[in-house]
Amino acid sequence: MFTVIRSKEAVLQALASTVNRDPTASDYRFQDDPYLTPKTSSEFKLFSLSQESGRNAAKYFISTYPKYFQKDYAQPHIPCLMPETLEAQIEEVSEAALIERIQMRKVKAAVDLYDQLQQAGTPVSLDVTNQLLDLICFYGDCDPAQENVPEQRNEETEDVQDEPQTKKGRASKASDKLKAAWKENNNAERIFALLSEPNTHSYSALIRGMVKYGAYSKAFSTYTDLLNNQLKADVSTFNALITAAPEVKEKYNEKWELIVDLLKQMAEQKVKPNLLTLNAVLKALRRCGTVGKSQAFPVISEMRALSIDPSLASYNHLLSIFYKPGAPFQGQTDILQEVMNEVSGKSFTPQDPDDAQFFITAVRICLDTKDIEQAYRVHELLGVGENWRLLGNDFQQNIYHARFFSLLCMMENIDVVLKWYRDLVPSVYYPSSNVMRDLLQALDTDNRLDLIPQIWKDLKQLGHGNRQTLVEELLTLMAREKQNQEVQETFAECALDIKKMYDTGDRGKVMMSWTAGSLSDLVSVLLAAQRRQDAWEILKLFKTHNRVPSEELLDKFLTCIKESGDVNQALELVQISAGFCLPGTPKLIQRVQQEFLLSEQQKSMLSDLEIQTFNSD
């Protein structure tokens, strides 16, 4: 009998593979209800954060009153649903207690206990001391931020030590005087000094901690100590040192020579490099300018020979070496293509924290080089296997989609753009106002201005309805050319809707102010749709908002009035023009006198006006 052994989730996975993403649904975190679906990116963030804070509130209660949550219904036992013990259980001063505190990541408590043990004279084994050193060096001698307590920002403004502050550990409570920088003579160094026979692990912990928290030259001096004690370093120590190499030397050649030196020593000490070594070398080469460009590929091929396959982080560093942001590109466009040839169709697992930068870098390069083909390949790669996990957090996803969509708006015709727009927005991506402006430009290029009212609806929903530049651009686009009748009608509706956005601002919303240009555009749109009454109302707004209408506008208005034949309105128009002391007023008066049938009274009024304007010139 040939029965295939399948995993327990096989059926579910098979079903899941038949369903694609639903472009009409919002993110899985949210409830499927129109009131509860986020419509702007700020709402997205607000809702997911409030859900998270609700969870934290529940966790607080569970950990404060654990006795109500002890009853175990689950078979088999589910450990993550039991209350966490946040306080250390073992109270007496012993090595077991130290191990417990190390596992609970309580840095200060562990250090205090270690000191107590030393004072009591109990010997602590080297393994446990190494674990303690690991703990201290990883967290930089501060306690990691507790999850239930809201993080307070570090208010300390002590002057930074000589090393610049690079990577930040989660430096937590403001009450501590410790910062996210390696302090002189901190606990790690102190405990290390107390060790009689530090081994490779101890040195490794210390060096990696120093590199993580910015004490680069110290790291190198500790390494020399290690060599002087005839010890060998392990692969993570070398990785840390390679990362630190560009910081301690100035010139590109020297940096590279130092790295090569370290690699040679690695070979001498028979330490096998791993993927993180490759990534560290490539990352360091980013800081090495032209040397980086020449050495990158040889490094990769050597590592390949040692059967270390590059991960997405390696490709990310490679692309960053060759495509510096802001630099002109000459003859390098094929590198992206080669990289994409390498990675297409493969599913990657997270192996390095920098893996998440790959997609953003790749799409930035596509945007800068205006390469839509490669952009499609990058996007396709996202759909392969588990690669979607490597897109990063919400912020990075936003950047990725913004760049991708801007590139599409620039390069593709409007139908393709709209297809992607409907696919991505707003289920995956909430565009910013800049990207929406790119979309408007794309509409303009392809002469699809009739879609503007729909885009305006989307803009309002996305919360960009009160951005002045965007709205003014909309009005200008609508007013520029005359469209056919139905489109003009929709434009007029849209324009009146826009006017509402200017009028009443809700509490807290940014108020927009009318400019002469926007008011004129509004009037032109309404006139083109034969809405004279509405346009007349808007014309009065010029006075209230202290803006001056242009002569062409009043001319156009007069033509419109002439079609309807309303003499009084024509006269009022002339009076308005005189009120603004426009230089075109005499011409207007002449037009009215010629084109309209005037009564005696009106004629005399006009001639008075004419004299008035003539005198004021």
Partner 1 sequence: MATSLVRQTKLLSIVTSQLSSAACFRNIHCTAACLKNRAARIRVAKGDKPVTYEQAYHPHHIGHRKGWLSQHTSNLQGEDGAAERVVEDVFIRRFMYGTFHGCLADEIVIKRRGNLLVICAVMIQKLLPSKFYFLIGYTEELLSHFYKCPVKIEMQTVEEKVVYKYL
Binding range to partner 1, per CB under 8 A, among 48-56, 101-109, 301-309, 409-417: 48-56
Binding range to partner 1, per CB under 8 A, among 8-16, 34-42, 244-252, 483-491: 34-42
Binding range to partner 1, per CB under 8 A, among 28-36, 393-401, 478-486, 488-496: 28-36
> Is the CB of residue 314 less than 8 Å from the CB of residue 356?
no
Please say which residue, 31 or 349, places its beta carbon nearer to partner 1.
31
Of 5, 73, 330, 568, which one interacts with partner 1 (CB under 8 A)? 73
Tokens 């963030």 -> residue: 45
Please say which residue, 61 or 388, places its beta carbon nearer to partner 1.
61
In 3D space, the residue among 543, 549, 546 whose CA is nearest the CA of residue 583 turns out to be 549
Output the smallest distance, CB 43 to partner 1, in A: 8
Tokens of 358: 């790959």
Of 12, 36, 90, 174, which one interacts with partner 1 (CB under 8 A)? 36
According to the binding rule CB under 8 A, does residue 47 interact with partner 1? yes
Tokens 């997270």 -> residue: 350
Output the smallest distance, CB 58 to partner 1, in A: 4
AA identity, residue 165: Q
Of 6, 14, 23, 55, which one interacts with partner 1 (CB under 8 A)? 55
Output the smallest distance, CB 151 to partner 1, in A: 18
According to the binding rule CB under 8 A, does residue 78 interact with partner 1? yes
Report d(CA 609, CA 592) in Å as an integer: 12
> Is the CB of residue 567 less than 8 Å from the CB of residue 597?
yes
Binding range to partner 1, per CB under 8 A, among 51-59, 181-189, 431-439, 567-575: 51-59
Output the smallest distance, CB 461 to partner 1, in A: 15
Please say which residue, 69 or 614, places its beta carbon nearer to partner 1.
69
Report d(CA 37, CA 22) in Å as an integer: 14
The DSSP-derived string for 337-353 is HHHHHHHTT------SG
Output the smallest distance, CB 14 to partner 1, in A: 18
Listed in sequence order, the DSSP H helices in 383-451 are: 394-411, 414-424, 433-445
Please say which residue, 1 or 16, places its beta carbon nearer to partner 1.
16
Of 40, 62, 112, 444, which one interacts with partner 1 (CB under 8 A)? 62
According to the binding rule CB under 8 A, does residue 53 interact with partner 1? yes
N- to C-terminal Cα separation, the chain: 107
SS3 content of the chain, % helix, strand, coil (to 5): 65, 0, 35
According to the binding rule CB under 8 A, does residue 54 interact with partner 1? yes
According to the binding rule CB under 8 A, does residue 32 interact with partner 1? yes
In 3D space, the residue among 613, 569, 568 whose CA is nearest the CA of residue 590 turns out to be 613
Report d(CA 391, CA 381) in Å as an integer: 11
> Is the CB of residue 336 less than 8 Å from the CB of residue 295?
no
Output the smallest distance, CB 26 to partner 1, in A: 12
**Does the bond joining 23 to the residue before it have cis omega, within 30 degrees of 0?**
no
Residues numbered 83 to 102 that lie near partner 1 (CB under 8 A) are 83
**Side-chain half-sphere CA neighbours of 3 within 13 A:** 4
According to the binding rule CB under 8 A, does residue 614 interact with partner 1? no
According to the binding rule CB under 8 A, does residue 69 interact with partner 1? yes
Report d(CA 373, CA 399) in Å as an integer: 19
| Count of residues that bind partner 1 according to CB under 8 A | 31
Residues that bind partner 1 (CB under 8 A): 30-33, 35-36, 38, 43, 46-48, 50-55, 57-59, 61-62, 68-69, 72-74, 78, 81-83
